[in-house]
Amino acid sequence: MKERYDVTVIGAGPAGLLAAKALAQNGFDVAVLERKQDPAAITRACGQSLLPPNEYFFGDIFHYNERDKRFCFSVSGLSFPYTGPVKSLYNWHMFSPGMKKMQFGCGEEKKTAPIALSYDKDVLIKDLLRDIACDHVDVCAGTEYTDMQFGPGTIVVKAGEKAFQSSFVIAADGTNSRVVQKLGYNSNRRHIANLYVQSCFIKGFKPPHDNAIITAVTFVDEKPVYLFLLPRAEGDEWNFIILTLEAGVDLTAAYDRITKDARFAAWFKAAKKTKEFAAIEYIYSPIQRPFRNNVLIVGDAGACQELECLGAMLTGWKGGLAIAAALKEQELGIMPRAIAQYEDWWLNTYIKQYDYQDYLSIFGIAYMFSKPEVIDYVFGLMGDESFPATFNPYRAVGLLGGRLQSLMPRIMQERPDILQVLAGTMSLFPSDIMGQTLKK
């Protein structure tokens, strides 16, 4: 541990480690603070699915370079080693409470590019740690950020008894970021809902479809609960995520009820938990300008982009480069512009082109359609024909909305009562609908 660093990075997840990599490769001294003893020991629920490797996403093209075992972002020129397993996923099956199904992707695997890659986050973190160790980054594990003080040209980051001095700080402390709270960002953000999550790895799960993502919306004690079943990268384990926006749902009990429920019992008959995780997220609208007091916010700390960590990787890397350039600007005494350029990219490409309202719609289905019967009807109508292959939530929501619009005349004839429900909610933002329902 040094007395002073150029940059202190808070959080050794994908965003923090890639920010450290960008800075270290430019010759700067970096400390990374991580509260866990082993940054690679994942304890928080995570989808562990990277998406989508078949289209532009966040302004880049992500892919896995199998020859050299590297994850690559062609536009940003970012690549880093990943030696773990990768599984290609081709379809997404979405079930309603009454088991009506909508499908993204036609099921013919070899004819389409995968919609997501399942990976192993433990290995990803281990590989990144090994990669940046060569660049002389000090990773301080078991070191929890507690406070921050601002002096002229210096920020002191406190971690219990320890103190880290640096010119800049990168906050990569994830969802519910304490640094974001400290800097007062949340007073200008909109709090939309809380996401309560429990997940587990399961063995012996009998999937209705192989190499596919399976999601379902169901109700437990009349409260909407969402199920995500994601194949793990290696072997036959699955990552089973149960989440709800409703406070007070006992998710442990929900697991038992769902796995024994007649609709799902065949899938879970021989299923056994091998590892458990949890997460809670206060969902806020994204931060618009993520730089303040020489602290740059990257990844989920600044914008909730759940279910994939491409956003964390890209913002970490680009944010790290921006701070590296800012340090050079200071050294050379030239007009600063790197951070402003990064903030423009964050706002115009990362935030505005990937509207968090669309992303929220995936969790808003139960609120928009309000009753199980309506969800079943809509899924039944829309599921007649499969959708293009995607797990990109922004694109999926656009596709669903488009088809629903085109079915309006039929709904008007068949079920004017349901049309009325839809007319009442489709003109609203998902955040408004959730806000109204959840406040009741």
Partner 1 sequence: MVTIDTSVCLVCGGCIDLCPKTAIQMVDDRVYVIQEKCIQCKICVQVCPVGAPRHIEDAA
At what angle are helices 14-25 and 310-332 packed, to 10 degrees?
30
- Is residue 338 a contact residue for partner 1 (CB under 8 A)? no
- Is residue 147 a contact residue for partner 1 (CB under 8 A)? yes
Please identify which residue in 26, 29, 44, 156 interacts with partner 1, judged by CB under 8 A. 44
Give the side-chain half-sphere CA count within 13 A for 1.
11
The one-letter code for the residue type at 125 is I
Question: Closer CB to partner 1, residue 253 or residue 408?
Answer: 253
- Is residue 343 a contact residue for partner 1 (CB under 8 A)? no
Residues 6+ apart with CB under 8 A from 251: 196, 197, 198, 242, 244
- Is residue 18 a contact residue for partner 1 (CB under 8 A)? no
Distance of CA 150 to CAs 155, 157, 174, Å? 5, 9, 22
Q: Which two tokens stand for residue 299?
A: 């990844």
Please identify which residue in 20, 22, 31, 35 interacts with partner 1, judged by CB under 8 A. 35
- Is residue 252 a contact residue for partner 1 (CB under 8 A)? yes
Please identify which residue in 68, 250, 256, 261 interacts with partner 1, judged by CB under 8 A. 250
- Is residue 146 a contact residue for partner 1 (CB under 8 A)? yes
- Is residue 197 a contact residue for partner 1 (CB under 8 A)? yes
Please identify which residue in 49, 198, 239, 392 interacts with partner 1, judged by CB under 8 A. 198
Q: Which two tokens stand for residue 210?
A: 């192989």
DSSP secondary structure letters along 31-46 = EEE-SSSSTTS--B--
Question: Closer CB to partner 1, residue 54 or residue 176?
Answer: 176
Cβ at position 423, least distance to partner 1 in Å:
35
User: Positive or negative CA dihedral for 121, 49, 96, 245?
Assistant: positive
CB-based burial label for 19 (10 Å; 0-12, 13-18, 19+): buried
Tell me which DSSP letter residue 4 carries.
Answer: E
Cβ at position 307, least distance to partner 1 in Å:
16
Question: Closer CB to partner 1, residue 44 or residue 63?
Answer: 44
- Is residue 43 a contact residue for partner 1 (CB under 8 A)? yes
- Is residue 133 a contact residue for partner 1 (CB under 8 A)? no
The one-letter code for the residue type at 3 is E
Of 318, 303, 293, nearest to 23 by C-alpha is 318
- Is residue 177 a contact residue for partner 1 (CB under 8 A)? yes
- Is residue 36 a contact residue for partner 1 (CB under 8 A)? yes
Question: Closer CB to partner 1, residue 51 or residue 200?
Answer: 200
Cβ at position 26, least distance to partner 1 in Å:
30
The one-letter code for the residue type at 283 is I
Question: Closer CB to partner 1, residue 279 or residue 321?
Answer: 279
The residue range among 43-51, 207-215, 385-393, 406-414 that interacts with partner 1, by the rule CB under 8 A, is 43-51
Stretch 269-308: interaction string toward partner 1, x if CB under 8 A: -------xxxxxxx--------------------------
Q: Which two tokens stand for residue 431?
A: 């955040």
- Is residue 55 a contact residue for partner 1 (CB under 8 A)? no
Strands 295-297 and 291-292: antiparallel
Cβ at position 134, least distance to partner 1 in Å:
27
Please identify which residue in 77, 142, 402, 409 interacts with partner 1, judged by CB under 8 A. 142
Cβ at position 161, least distance to partner 1 in Å:
12
Q: Which two tokens stand for residue 308?
A: 């994939």
Q: How far apart are CA 133 and CA 127, in angstroms?
A: 10
Question: Closer CB to partner 1, residue 261 or residue 276?
Answer: 276
- Is residue 184 a contact residue for partner 1 (CB under 8 A)? no
Q: How far apart are CA 277 and CA 410, in angstroms?
A: 43
107 touches 91 (CB < 8 A): yes
Cβ at position 282, least distance to partner 1 in Å:
7
CB-based burial label for 189 (10 Å; 0-12, 13-18, 19+): middle
Segment 153 to 172, residues that bind partner 1, using CB under 8 A: 160
Q: What does the chain come to in residues?
A: 440
- Is residue 186 a contact residue for partner 1 (CB under 8 A)? no
The one-letter code for the residue type at 439 is K
Q: How far apart are CA 361 and CA 192, in angstroms?
A: 12
DSSP secondary structure letters along 171-183 = E---TT-HHHHHT
> Is residue 200 classed as helix, strand or coil in its secondary structure?
strand
Question: Closer CB to partner 1, residue 159 or residue 422?
Answer: 159
Question: Closer CB to partner 1, residue 157 or residue 396?
Answer: 157
Please identify which residue in 133, 247, 270, 340 interacts with partner 1, judged by CB under 8 A. 247
- Is residue 221 a contact residue for partner 1 (CB under 8 A)? no
> Is residue 252 classed as helix, strand or coil in its secondary structure?
helix
- Is residue 183 a contact residue for partner 1 (CB under 8 A)? no
Residues found near partner 1 in the complex (CB under 8 A): 35-38, 41, 43-45, 142, 144, 146-147, 160, 173-178, 194, 196-198, 247, 250-252, 276-282
